[in-house]
Structure 1
């Protein structure tokens, strides 16, 4: 698992892929449980993020451009869903 930071919230990604052209984009999967669902949902509603993957020396500002979930009812105790999320850079940074 790789560590991802979205707006200073640290998450563990199950899988991820990085693209760099024409803009940087990260596609990743989060394993979300009924216990973590509320906090993850509130975070994702922010839509625009400071994205950091420290192990990859990757950082950029981006928006959610694709999102899906394997299960929509996570209010039942013990439920688990895979959240697939793509975040695309909002603009190219001059120093990257």
Structure 2
């Protein structure tokens, strides 16, 4: 079971992890919660768009870019909010 994914040096506790392969590229999709306190740091990281991804449970790492992402809350600048982010990454190099 995958319960953590690292993007660069940031750990994300994840749920609903899925992996698929299309056109010889790997896609991973996962959900994670973001608090209003962490919102700025998380979105600043996501704006980088390209990540060194580590999945410790699978002992795998690769470089990926954002394919899609969305959130359950549009304004996490309000205090004491928690939003769910859904992120899909595509591996930059074919397997």
Common topology (TM > 0.5): yes
Shift of 1:20: 3.2
Gapped regions of structure 2 (runs ≥ 5): none
Shift of 1:86: 0.3
Partner SS for 1:49: strand
Q: 1:65 matched to which residue of 2?
A: 67
Q: Distance in 2 between matches of 1:76 and 1:87?
A: 28
Q: 1:44 matched to which residue of 2?
A: 46
Task: Say how many residue pairs are matched.
Answer: 93
The answer to whether the 8 Å contact 1:49/1:61 transfers is yes
Q: Distance in 2 between matches of 1:38 and 1:31?
A: 13
> TM-score by structure 2 length?
0.89
Partner SS for 1:24: strand
RMSD: 1.4
User: Could you list the runs of 4 or more consecutive aligned residues of structure 1 that deviate by over 2 angstroms after TM superposition?
Assistant: none
1:4 aligns with 2:15: no
Gapped regions of structure 1 (runs ≥ 5): none
Map 1:1-96 to 2 at 5 A: 2-21=3-22, 22-92=24-94
